[in-house]
């Protein structure tokens, strides 16, 4: 069993023993997450605890900056605790366990205390006291060794995420914690173009995650850079909206000796906590299909700024903010060269037709040559969802061989089955699979699993195709009844209505007019003594008309053929050469052979972009021959007859 799995199992066993009868399972996290963070901090400070207390002796509160820095130097960390208690020492006084635990928590340095307060643990301390559980819970947690020598920072990060997953089975839609192998793959795809630079001595780079969660993605980025270059430095930044995961991430930063102030709290879409800062690497797994209505006003206000803000390319439907996060992340890349990795569902690939917010965002990204590659991942690799997911890799500084190109990699079959499922996670990506995928990306390989396209291949013109309005006109009782339902006719006084009806009834009901102008001339003669406004004439024509393919096209006063709204259609014309040439060729080859009287409206043309990932890797499988299917059916019929015969024989013997 891996170290983090062992730790999680110990904590889970304790939770089930101590909390089951007094807490709903959904509330376990309110106790377990802050206690695990506290125990981790406690374990880290354990060796230097007495030295810190000796140094603190005689100091007066509040401590000044120099005193705090001195105590940090004694603890060997970016934080300290000046309470005389530890988890182990809390057990010496069972009667006052609550008061002493509060004293212990308040003894942390301000930066650690600020983190702990995000858990709002005070309410749970009181609840545990009232239930008589506090001493037992602290006692069991004190027995779990969370010292970095027992479980390293990476493994501890796994443990936190597994605890969150385990106690969050009803996690909100879209909040899917990222499997480690997916993070590893995404970071490798980010670093792969920069490996030479990242190997240089003294290199300093920055990485930012706008939906940082517990910080697992940033931790993997740091780990991989350390493997590439032990002398390199990666400064980590992020923002998180959930107070619990934010606190865990901040604690992890403290424990790594990094600056937790680089992690901001709040909604990234409505309030960029790192406004004005840009980064070498931007990486995230934002919520899928997440409703962003709470940030709607702020987002729409910023969108009005155009590209002076983050959302100048467009605003998607409020039901899915994925493309807002992607725009934000592009904005956060360093202007002189940054790389971006993001995990998304399939929706951002194709949702929204030409002219929609989603399509306009894709148009902006592709026409600015930001999209480098998209990797289709296996399904059932996330803990809380089985949907298809994709890693997008973007950059604002493509190498020459990739300029104007987008690589699609189908890695949907690059997985192994897990021995035991974890929630929805039944598959995982092995190291060998990661090597295969990164190899195809690095080599810009073209084969059955990797294809390279021109940017233009994903663009199209959406064209409105019209067909002429053709109607016949005549006067029948049925059509006169329709006239009485027309709004313009109903507004008339009853006397005038009767005059018009009488005039129309004077027309030859046997005559069917196939030309509108001819009918209007006959109509004017029939109601010559009555003033007919344009609105009233339109109502009469609408009521007395029926579509008729044999009729003449309707032509307006300017001699322009009028389109039939009921026959209006739309064509998506792939981009190839130039707009007019592409559309004209499409009309000649695809439309006019079927409807020779069709035309397109030049003013209706919209440019759209989508990325039909699955279609590009679809392989047709021929249907089985009918004779083979028939033979199989006959074989099944023979088997059924034999089974029934045996059943009847057994019944007869029993009788």
User: Which pLDDT tens digit goes with each residue over 63-103?
Assistant: 999 999 999 999 999 999 999 999 999 999 999 999 999 99
Digit-coded pLDDT (tens) for 322-370: 999 999 999 999 999 999 999 999 999 999 999 999 999 999 999 999 9
Confidence of residue 629 (pLDDT cuts 50, 70, 90): confident
Domain ranges of the chain: 3-166, 180-458, 471-547, 624-655
Return the structure tokens found at 548.
Answer: 């008729």
Digit-coded pLDDT (tens) for 494-525: 999 999 999 999 998 889 999 999 999 999 99
What percent of the chain lies above the pLDDT cut of 70?
97
CA–CA gap between residue 29 and residue 15 (Å, rounded): 10
Least confident of 202-206, 231-235, 605-609, 626-630: 626-630
- 524-538 in b/e form (b: 16+ CB < 10 A) is eebbeeeebeeebee
Give the mean pLDDT of 536-542: 93
Indicate if the alpha-carbon torsion angle 622, 628, 630, 633 is positive or negative: negative
Long-range CB pairs of 552-561, under 8 A, 24+ apart, other chains included = 552/470, 552/514, 552/515, 552/516, 553/468, 553/469, 553/470, 553/597, 554/468, 554/469, 554/470, 554/471, 554/516, 555/516, 555/517, 561/468, 561/469
Report pLDDT for 340. 98
DSSP code, position 26: G
What is the value of pTM for the model shown? 0.86
CA–CA gap between residue 39 and residue 153 (Å, rounded): 14
Give the mean pLDDT of 449-453: 97
- 648 or 381: which leads in pLDDT: 381
CA–CA gap between residue 597 and residue 53 (Å, rounded): 92
Indicate if the alpha-carbon torsion angle 527, 528, 533, 534 is positive or negative: positive
- Which residue bears the tokens 């990795």? 341
Does residue 566 carry a pLDDT above 80? yes
Q: Taking all residues of the chain, what is their mean pLDDT, rounded to a whole number?
A: 92
Q: How far apart are the first and last CA of the chain?
A: 60
Least confident of 393-397, 606-610, 644-648: 644-648
CA–CA gap between residue 435 and residue 185 (Å, rounded): 9
Would you give the distance in Å from CA 240 to the centre of its chain? 16
Give SS3 for 170.
Answer: coil
Q: Does an H or E element contain 293, and which?
A: none
Return the structure tokens found at 315.
Answer: 């605003």
Report pLDDT for 377. 96
Give the mean pLDDT of 583-597: 94
Does residue 172 carry a pLDDT above 60? no
Does residue 186 carry a pLDDT above 90? yes
Give SS3 for 265.
Answer: strand
Q: Which stretches of 564-625 are DSSP H helices?
A: 579-586, 613-616
What percent of the chain lies above the pLDDT cut of 90?
80
Does residue 385 carry a pLDDT above 80? no
| C-beta separation of 370 from 394 below 8 A | yes
Give SS3 for 211.
Answer: coil
| C-beta separation of 146 from 10 below 8 A | no
- Which residue bears the tokens 């006067």? 475
Long-range CB pairs of 27-30, under 8 A, 24+ apart, other chains included = 28/167, 29/163, 29/164, 29/167, 29/168, 29/244, 30/119, 30/120, 30/121, 30/123, 30/124
Confidence of residue 597 (pLDDT cuts 50, 70, 90): very high
Give the mean pLDDT of 54-71: 94
Report pLDDT for 175. 54
Does residue 1 carry a pLDDT above 50? no
Digit-coded pLDDT (tens) for 243-273: 999 999 999 999 998 999 999 999 999 999 9
Specify the CATH architecture of the domain 180-458: 3-Layer(aba) Sandwich (3.40)
Report pLDDT for 162. 84
CA–CA gap between residue 139 and residue 161 (Å, rounded): 23
Number of Cβ atoms within 10 Å of the Cβ of 381: 22
Give the mean pLDDT of 414-425: 87
Report pLDDT for 173. 40
């Amino acid at each position: 069993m891996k170290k983090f799995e062992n730790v999680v199992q110990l904590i889970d066993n304790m939770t089930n023993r101590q909390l089951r009868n007094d807490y709903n399972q959904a509330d376990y996290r309110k106790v377990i997450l802050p206690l695990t963070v506290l125990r981790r901090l406690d374990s880290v400070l354990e060796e230097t605890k007495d030295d810190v207390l000796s140094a603190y002796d005689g100091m007066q509160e509040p401590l000044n900056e120099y005193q705090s820095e001195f105590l940090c130097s004694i603890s060997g960390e970016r934080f300290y605790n000046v309470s005389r208690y530890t988890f182990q020492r809390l057990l010496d006084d069972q009667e006052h366990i609550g008061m002493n635990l509060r004293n212990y928590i308040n003894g942390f340095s301000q930066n650690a205390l600020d983190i702990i307060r995000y858990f709002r643990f005070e309410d749970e301390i009181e609840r545990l006291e009232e239930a008589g559980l506090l001493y037992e819970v602290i006692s069991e947690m004190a027995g779990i060794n969370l010292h970095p020598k027992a479980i390293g920072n990476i493994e501890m990060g796994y443990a936190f995420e597994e605890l969150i997953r385990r106690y969050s089975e009803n996690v909100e839609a879209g909040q899917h914690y990222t499997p480690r192998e997916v993070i590893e793959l995404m970071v490798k795809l980010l670093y792969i173009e920069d490996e030479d630079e990242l190997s240089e001595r003294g290199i300093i780079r920055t990485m930012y995650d706008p939906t940082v969660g517990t910080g697992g993605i940033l931790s993997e980025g740091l780990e991989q850079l350390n493997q590439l270059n032990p002398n390199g430095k990666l400064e980590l930044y992020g923002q998180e909206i959930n107070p619990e995961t934010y606190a865990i991430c901040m604690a992890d930063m403290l424990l790594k000796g990094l600056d937790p102030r680089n992690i901001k709290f709040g909604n990234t879409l409505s309030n960029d906590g790192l406004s004005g800062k840009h980064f070498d690497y931007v990486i995230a797994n934002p919520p899928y299909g997440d409703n962003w209505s709470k940030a709607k006003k702020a987002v729409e206000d910023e969108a009005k700024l155009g590209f002076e803000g983050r959302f100048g390319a467009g605003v998607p439907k409020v039901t899915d903010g994925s493309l807002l996060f992607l725009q934000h992340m592009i904005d956060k890349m360093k202007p002189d060269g940054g790389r971006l990795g993001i995990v998304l569902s399939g929706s951002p690939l194709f949702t929204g037709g030409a002219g929609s917010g989603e399509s306009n965002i894709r148009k902006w990204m592709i026409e600015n040559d930001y999209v480098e590659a998209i990797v289709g991942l296996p399904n059932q690799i996330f803990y809380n969802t089985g949907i298809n997911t994709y890693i997008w890799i973007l950059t604002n500084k493509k190498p020459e061989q990739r300029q104007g190109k987008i690589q699609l990699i189908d890695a949907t079959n690059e997985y192994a089955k897990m021995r035991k499922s974890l929630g929805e996670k039944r598959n995982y990506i092995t190291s060998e699979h990661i090597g295969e995928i990164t190899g195809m990306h690095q080599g810009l390989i073209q084969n059955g699993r990797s294809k390279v396209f021109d940017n233009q291949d994903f663009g199209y013109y959406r064209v409105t195709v019209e067909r002429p309005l053709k109607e016949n006109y005549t006067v029948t009782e049925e059509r006169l009844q329709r006239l009485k339902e027309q709004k313009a006719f109903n507004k008339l006084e009853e006397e005038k209505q009767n005059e018009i009806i009488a005039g129309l009834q004077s027309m030859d009901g046997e005559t069917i007019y196939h030309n509108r102008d001819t009918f209007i001339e006959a109509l004017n003669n029939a109601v010559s003594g009555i003033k007919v406004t344009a609105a009233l004439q339109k109502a009469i024509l609408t009521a007395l008309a029926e579509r008729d393919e044999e009729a003449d096209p309707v032509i307006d006063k300017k001699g322009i053929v009028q389109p039939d709204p009921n026959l209006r259609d739309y064509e998506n014309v792939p981009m190839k050469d130039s707009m007019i040439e592409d559309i004209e060729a499409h009309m000649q080859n695809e439309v006019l052979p079927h409807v020779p009287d069709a035309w397109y409206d030049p003013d209706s043309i919209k440019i759209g972009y989508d990325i039909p990932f699955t279609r590009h890797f679809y392989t047709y499988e021929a249907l089985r021959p009918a004779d083979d299917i028939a033979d199989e059916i006959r074989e099944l019929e023979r088997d059924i007859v034999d089974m029934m015969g045996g059943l009847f024989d057994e019944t007869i013997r029993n009788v």
